[in-house]
Structure formats: structure tokens, C-alpha cells
Amino acid sequence: MRSLLRTLERATLRDVALVCLADALVGASFGAISVSGGLPLWVPVALSVLVFAGGSQFAAVGVVLSGGGALAAVATGLVLNARLLPFGFTVADVLDGPWWRRLLGAQLLTDETAAFALQQNEPRRRRAVYWLCGIALFVVWNVSVLLGALAGGLLGDTDALGLDAAFPAVLLALVLPSLVDRRIRTAALVGAVVAVAATPFVPAGLPVLLALVGLLFAGRPAAGEAARSAADEQNVENAVGGESAVKSEKETVR
């Protein structure tokens, strides 16, 4: 764990801590809602350990508490978790090693772990932030769900406390820095429009999947942009090389 901490920048560690704090609030809300709705304490705890997907857990419990059956709850959770399939492809390089390590890493795959991993350019940092964020979130989420379930109905109306808004607010804060790229802005805007437009007409969970249509509009970097990037990198290398040559010449003169 210490090696993971040394690999990452302080700003990244701070962001991971903020996400864990938001998840703790949401997890406590989930545990309290489940138990106060009439479910036994072991249900939210088992869901948190085995499923470890906040949106799917809320959806499944919502189906059960509204009178739906177990199959309907499982189907709803699977639909919501289907969004993680493309995330798995994007972070596949992080989950190297023996099968048991890949299996454990797949269990830790969430929106947050994928987002943090994609923010890093170096493979070592990608792996470090993925495992650090995944393990921290798993521990924080399960502990907070247990505490919330033990509290039961003491929290009352969790929506009135604003706990439901903490999770999406933190995710939005993580996404905003990526929107400086025009292609990402286009994909995000198209996906958001599709999801909002589809919400009144399709079952819960499907708008999130339909938002992936936005990826089709992201496109690829233009040839001119790629050439400019390569030229900029070459200029930097030339400048560094020039500075080194000047320093060497000065040392020789001395």
C-alpha cells in the first residue's frame, strides 16, 4: 500500500479520498433505506460484498421494496452493470497477472476506478490508482453500508438530507477536467442528450447504456492536430538537447 501511495501525486490521492467520502455517505444511505424498508440486515451487506455496484444495488432494492420479484431485481441490476463492459476493455491493461488477480480486479471495477485509471498516462500510475481506489472504495463502501443498516430508520428521509446528491456531484467534478478536449465534449453532450431524451420512454438503467451512442461522435484526432502534437514534442526534445549541448560546451570552456 505504501508503494502505491508513493507512486501517485498528492492531488490524485486527495481526489480518491473525496470519492471515498461521497461513497461513504451514499453507502450509509443505501444501508438505512434497505433496512428501514423492511429488508433484513444481511441483504444490503451481502449485496455490497458480492455485487459492489451502488447503482445496481439501489435499483435492485428499489424493485424488491416496490413489490417486484427477485428475478426482476437481478435483471435490473444486470442492465445497469452492463455499462461496465466497455470500461473493462479500456482498463484491461491494468489487470495483468494471474487469473485470481484479474478476477479480483474485475470485482473492483467501478465508474470511479475506471475514471481514475483513464486519467493517468503512465502504466505504473494507472495500475497504482486503479488498485488503490478500488480497494479503498470497497472497504469504505462495505463499512458504511453496514453502519447505515445498523442505524436503520434513524436517518429518516435520506433524500431530504441530500445524501443522494453527493455521489453524482463528485463524479461530475471528476469529469469536468476532461471536457477541455473538444472530442470528449461532443461525445459527452450527445450522450447526455440521448439519455435525457430516452428517460421517459425506457426502463430505468437503459438511458445510461443508450448514452454510449455519444462515443460514435467522438471521432479521432485530426491529422493536423496529430502533426502539431508531434511537432511540439520534437521542439521540446530539440530545446532540451540544445540546452544540454550549451551546458556541456560551457563546462568544456571552463
With contact defined as beta carbons under 8 Å apart, do 64 and 183 qualify?
A: no
What pLDDT was estimated at residue 173? 66
Tell whether the model's pLDDT for residue 253 goes beyond 70: no
What pLDDT was estimated at residue 208? 67
Q: How far is CA 154 from the centre of its chain?
A: 30
Q: For 202-221, how does the pLDDT look when each residue is reduced to its tens digit (9 = 90+)?
A: 765 567 667 778 878 776 55
Mean pLDDT of 8-19: 84
Tell me the whole-structure pTM to 2 decimals: 0.64
What pLDDT was estimated at residue 244? 44
- 141 closest CA partner among 54, 12, 204, 220: 54
Tell whether the model's pLDDT for residue 138 goes beyond 80: yes
Q: For 172-186, how does the pLDDT look when each residue is reduced to its tens digit (9 = 90+)?
A: 665 676 677 788 888
CA distance linking residue 235 with residue 103, whole number of Å: 44
What pLDDT was estimated at residue 72? 75
Mean pLDDT of 107-130: 87
Q: Whole-number mean pLDDT of the chain?
A: 76
What pLDDT was estimated at residue 73? 79
